[in-house]
Amino acid sequence: MSIRRISAIFEKDIKDLMKNAELLVMLTAPILLTLLLNRSTNGKITIPILYMVIGGIFTLVASGTIMTMMAEEKEKKTLRGLIQSPALLLDIIIGKSLVTLIGTLITLTVSLLIMGIGPLMNFRAALGLIMLFLFFLLIGISMGLFTNSLASVSVYLILLTFLFGFTPLISTLGSLDKGSIAVKIIDKFPIVQAMAIHKTSSWQPCGIMAIWVTGAAIITYVCFRKAMTDN
Amino acid sequence: MAPFVINQEILTSGAFSPFYLAVGDFQATAIYSDPDIQHELVKDLRSNTDIPVFDHQDGLYMRLTVESNIAFFHKWFGCREPLSEILVRFELQHDAKKPLHKCSESEIRRVCFAKYYMSGVPSAVFCEPIHGADIKTIRTFVRMLQTMKEQPTAVLILVSNLEHALLVGDVVYKLQPSGIKPVETEEDAATPEPESAAAPAFAKLFKISAKVDEKMILFDPPEIDYIESQDGKAMIVINNEKYAMDATMMETEKKLEAYGFYRCHRSYIVNLQKVREIITWSKNAYSLRIDNKIQSTIPLSRTKIQDIQEKFNLE
């Protein structure tokens, strides 16, 4: 790992981000969504709506940005001659994660300032947010390592948004039984657990989210190893 | 910094008979072959060695400017030479602020060269580096090669064009399915050609003959662009067409001297009437540009530069 290389990739990607219309739209879309929601609910943002926006931001910005950046490097073969060892690939991932972190922070802060940051101003909720970010970032990295083209990124992103970003919507979609297995599984999804933090005072939701993050980290590690042996 | 070796273990494709070749420092080795053989050779080198093959197919960041691209690679590879010097070295200083998607092919090629140069590898293979590039780009490549040789870097260049091979390579080989063999370069031009000087020189000869299939074609000397040596035989070149002659270079040189032809290189006899330009790539690399449809360039030996300037009454 080298700070020089990480900062090289970080500076390059920040400059590239500013000129990439696709990514800029991804970064600003959640803010527009927030503004619309805020207007239509007359400023009365409930916890489910708040987390729907947060889920949207995390999937589009955290997972989407890093996935797009990695897929583009692969598709345009810009990393040829740059990666000779796993350490160098790690440098690239860290540099890109930092760019993603900054993008997510900006979008999230603006959106939360519009909606009111009040409900999230406690330690457990903030911890939940951090774990959500890590989860979506790791999922984004593993999919970025996995895909080879920008076209497939949008497919994965739609799946990801539907499954993990807008999880609360799934339960309202169909007429699912309260006690069915599907509902029980969906109840354990990270966004739903993050909402549960506000309902109870126990640490159980945080624990379940930590398991999700660990799972995502393992998947990322497997994808990383696979990407290195493929080259 | 060790020179690298190409041997049987690397050459597994079977498209040509394996050979042993040591690529040394301080000199550039060029292999001249047809594109199919070159493709097989590159495939072998890629799969059986770690030596980077630079074929300028790498993607660059098209949205970013020339300077941002170079700055990224500069930092990534930890290049010690200052960024501004790199820009000047590759003649990119005037286009530094231009986004890459607006740059010409040749400018993009030079950014690629800069990337390869900054990667600082101990040995490198270049594949068709100057094919289709403009004069400025060829000149930066020749200069880059010079610096790389001094570092020293072992450099192997694969080209499918003899003129390019002679321009960039200090040692030139020709690779055919039957194997590899050295092409004479100017260094050994002092040794006379091993042939019988018995061929009579006709004082009054107005046509020069070449064979195509079963036909005998007769050319007027003024319509010939230049004569190229291939496997010891002379070839008449007119635009893109090549016609094999049934004579050696030395015989041809003697015959055509009277018509204003000049042996500008061990492997070339040029029609002086058709020379449009003398290009100086560096202190000791020159080419002649021919005034034909495809604007061919042919090598000019450094030992002959004085001579040719005298012929044109240049100072």
For A24-75, the three-class secondary structure string (H helix, E strand, C coil) is HHHHHHHHHHHHHHHHHCCCCCCHHHHHHHHHHHHHHHHHHHHHHHHHHHHH
Instruction: Indicate whether this complex's ipTM tops 0.85.
Output: yes
- What phi and psi, each to the nearest 5 degrees, are found at residue B126? -105, 135
Which residues have a Cβ under 8 Å from the Cβ of A44 and sit 6 or more positions away?
none
Domain count for chain A, please give it.
1
The backbone region for B43, taken as left when phi is positive above 0, alpha when psi lies in -120 to 50, beta otherwise, is: alpha
Domain span holding position A79: 3-230
Identity of the residue numbered A184: K
Residue B39 to residue B28: CA distance in whole angstroms? 20
Q: What percent of chain B has pLDDT over 90?
A: 19
Host H or E run for residue A101: helix A86-115
Which pLDDT band holds residue B153 (cuts at 50, 70, 90)?
Answer: confident
Residue A181 pLDDT > 80: no
Residue A83 pLDDT > 90: no
Region A67-94: mean pLDDT is 88
- What phi and psi, each to the nearest 5 degrees, are found at residue A124? -65, -40
Residue of A nearest to B67 (CA): A12
Which residues have a Cβ under 8 Å from the Cβ of A203 and sit 6 or more positions away?
A124
Q: Are A81 and B58 in contact (CB under 8 A)?
A: yes
Cα B289–B292–B293 angle (5° rounding)? 120
A&B contacts, CB < 8 Å: 48
Is B59 in contact with A76 (Cβ distance < 8 A)?
Answer: yes
pLDDT value of residue B196: 42
Of the candidates B280, B264, B66, B56, which has an alpha carbon nearest to the alpha carbon of residue B157?
A: B56
Of the candidates B165, B166, B232, which has an alpha carbon nearest to the alpha carbon of residue B193?
A: B232
Residue A151 to residue B176: CA distance in whole angstroms? 43
Average pLDDT, chain A: 87
> What are the tokens at B81?
């030479």
Is B57 in contact with A8 (Cβ distance < 8 A)?
Answer: no
Region B162-174: mean pLDDT is 87
> What are the tokens at A74?
């692969």
pLDDT value of residue B112: 92
Determine how many CB atoms are found less than 10 A away from the CB of residue A214: 13
Region B255-281: mean pLDDT is 87
Residue B32 to residue A174: CA distance in whole angstroms? 69
Region B177-194: mean pLDDT is 63
Which pLDDT band holds residue B204 (cuts at 50, 70, 90)?
Answer: low
pLDDT value of residue A7: 94
Instruction: Of A17-21, A184-188, B67-71, B136-140, give the lowest mean pLDDT range.
Output: A184-188
Domain with CATH 3.40.50.300 in chain B: 4-186
State the residue for tokens 């050609």. B193
Which pLDDT band holds residue A193 (cuts at 50, 70, 90)?
Answer: confident
Q: Of B58, B72, B99, which is closest to A80 when you measure between CB atoms?
A: B58
pLDDT value of residue B190: 45
Q: Of B52, B63, B71, which is closest to A20 when you measure between CB atoms?
A: B63
Q: For residues A221, A222, A227 and A228, what is the CA-based torsion angle, rounded to 10 degrees? A: 70
Host H or E run for residue B29: strand B28-32
Instruction: Of A220-224, B112-116, B146-150, give the lowest mean pLDDT range.
Output: B146-150
pLDDT value of residue B194: 42
Rg (CA), chain B: 21
pLDDT value of residue A146: 86
**Cβ-based contacts of A76 with chain B (< 8 Å):** 59, 62
Return the sign of the alpha-carbon dihedral for residues B43, B45, B50, B56.
negative
Average pLDDT, chain B: 83
Q: Could you give the angle at which helices A21-40 and A64-75 cross, rounded to 10 degrees?
A: 160
Determine how many CB atoms are found less than 10 A away from the CB of residue B148: 21
State the residue for tokens 């920040």. A14
Residue B284 pLDDT > 70: yes
Residue B188 pLDDT > 50: no
Q: What percent of chain A has pLDDT over 90?
A: 41
Residue B265 pLDDT > 50: yes
Instruction: Of B56-65, B177-186, B227-236, B294-303, give the lowest mean pLDDT range.
Output: B177-186
Residue B2 pLDDT > 70: no
Strand partners, B32: B159, B174
Residue B303 pLDDT > 80: yes
Residue A78, chain B, CB below 8 Å: the answer is yes
Identity of the residue numbered B87: L
Instruction: Of A5-14, A98-107, B124-133, give the lowest mean pLDDT range.
Output: B124-133
Domain with CATH 2.40.50.1020 in chain B: 208-311
Is A19 in contact with B68 (Cβ distance < 8 A)?
Answer: no
> What are the tokens at A14?
């920040």
Residue of B nearest to A84 (CA): B50
| Nearest chain A CA: its distance from B161 CA (Å) | 26
Identity of the residue numbered B301: S
Residue B159 to residue B145: CA distance in whole angstroms? 15
Residue B78, chain A, CB below 8 Å: the answer is yes
pLDDT value of residue A192: 85
Superfamily of structural domain B4-186: P-loop containing nucleotide triphosphate hydrolases (3.40.50.300)
CATH topology of domain B208-311: OB fold (Dihydrolipoamide Acetyltransferase, E2P) (2.40.50)
Q: Taking a contact as any Cβ pair under 8 Å apart, which residues of chain B between 250 and 279 contact chain A?
A: none
**Cβ-based contacts of A77 with chain B (< 8 Å):** 57-59
Residue B3 to residue B154: CA distance in whole angstroms? 5
Strand partners, B265: B268
Residue B72, chain A, CB below 8 Å: the answer is yes
pLDDT value of residue B1: 39
Region B83-111: mean pLDDT is 91
Q: Of B59, B61, B75, which is closest to A16 when you measure between CB atoms?
A: B61
pLDDT value of residue B191: 43
